[in-house]
């Protein structure tokens, strides 16, 4: 069920009541709006079961999350966990786009984004993309029925992907290039012995700094990156060669066939032999 309200052409709001399927299975909109007050503005809640996306098109203000305050200026986005309590305020007019949303994966997605962003605010590299995605979410939320719910889910996922992209690009370019160099090296040399000291020397970074920043940028550890690269190589060999599972494990850097089988199952959910049968069928 959707209910809309237009105060004027610059401020509008749409309230949504998702059905049980959308609430339990999808990212769903609770409320979406565009705010352009004529004077000072303030809003907030002590606790709310949602996550809040904000994008400032004009002006500037302050956001609060869990008792911490952060400035928010034109061209910047924020993603807040409203369960911790939130607020936003401006002493002069500003123009905001906002979306309250939730879903079964919302908390995990927010946590991963926050780890990469390092805070609740990022600068938009393409403001027009945020405006377009916000409009897509509005249009989907305005549509009745399961199609609108699925479209809203897809649009919210695209919005979170854009936020993640901008959080990643916020790191200094030289540091981002070093991390990308490490990732590329892992994928190419995963069959070799991969040590943290070797990767740190490649990146010209302290090994603890490398481990922390790699995880913040990509959302998983260096160890998991090595495992993913080895399993990706093993999957190609399982599908397109007739080598034994044991030989493939060894050629992917895992000499112990039992450990290779456990690692493959942990990543893919099936044994190497079962994976081969599925794709050779």
How confident is the model over 228-238, as a mean pLDDT? Answer: 95
* Per-residue pLDDT tens digits for 68-99: 888 899 999 999 999 989 999 987 789 999 99
Q: Does 67 or 79 have the greater pLDDT score?
A: 79
Q: Which of 39-43, 53-57, 139-143, 180-184 has the lowest mean pLDDT?
A: 39-43
Residue 171 predicted with pLDDT over 60? no
Helix (H, G, I), strand (E, B) or coil at 191: coil
Q: Could you give all domains of the chain from N- to C-terminal order, each with its CATH number?
A: 2-169 (2.60.120.280), 173-280 (1.10.10.60)
pLDDT tens digits along 118-150 = 788 988 989 999 999 999 999 999 997 899 999
Residue 4 is predicted with a pLDDT of 42
- Which of 30, 10, 7 has the alpha carbon at shortest distance from 18? 30
Return the pLDDT at 172: 55
44 or 191: whose pLDDT is higher? 191
Over the range 69-103, which residues count as b (16 or more CB within 10 Å of their CB) and which as e? Answer: eeebeeebbbbbbbbebbbbbbeeebbbbbbbbbb
Indicate whether 39 pLDDT > 50: yes
Q: pLDDT-derived band of residue 3, with 50, 70 and 90 as boundaries?
A: very low
């Amino acid at each position: 069920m959707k209910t809309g309200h237009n105060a004027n052409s610059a401020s509008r709001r749409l309230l949504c009541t998702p059905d049980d399927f959308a609430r339990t299975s999808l990212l769903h909109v609770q409320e979406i709006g565009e705010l352009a007050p004529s004077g000072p503005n303030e809003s907030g809640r002590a606790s709310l079961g949602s996550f809040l996306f904000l994008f400032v098109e004009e002006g500037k203000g302050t956001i609060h999350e869990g008792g911490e305050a952060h400035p928010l200026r034109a061209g910047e986005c924020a993603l807040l966990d409203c369960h911790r309590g939130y607020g936003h305020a401006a002493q002069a007019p500003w123009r905001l786009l906002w979306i309250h949303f939730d879903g079964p994966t919302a908390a995990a997605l927010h946590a991963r984004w926050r780890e990469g962003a390092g805070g609740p605010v990022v600068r938009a590299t393409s403001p027009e993309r945020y405006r377009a995605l916000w409009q897509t979410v509005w249009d989907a939320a305005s549509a009745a029925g399961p199609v609108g719910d699925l479209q809203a889910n897809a649009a919210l996922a695209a919005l979170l992907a854009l936020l993640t992209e901008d959080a990643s690009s916020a790191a200094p370019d030289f540091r981002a290039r070093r991390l990308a160099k490490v990732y590329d090296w892992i994928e190419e040399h995963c069959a070799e012995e991969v040590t943290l000291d070797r990767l740190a020397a490649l990146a010209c970074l302290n090994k603890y700094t490398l481990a922390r920043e790699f995880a913040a940028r990509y959302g998983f550890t260096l160890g998991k990156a090595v495992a993913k690269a080895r399993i990706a190589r093993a999957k190609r060999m399982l599908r397109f060669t007739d080598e034994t599972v044991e030989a493939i494990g060894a050629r992917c850097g895992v000499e112990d066939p039992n450990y290779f089988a456990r690692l493959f199952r942990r990543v893919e959910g099936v044994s190497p032999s079962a994976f081969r049968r599925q794709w050779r069928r």
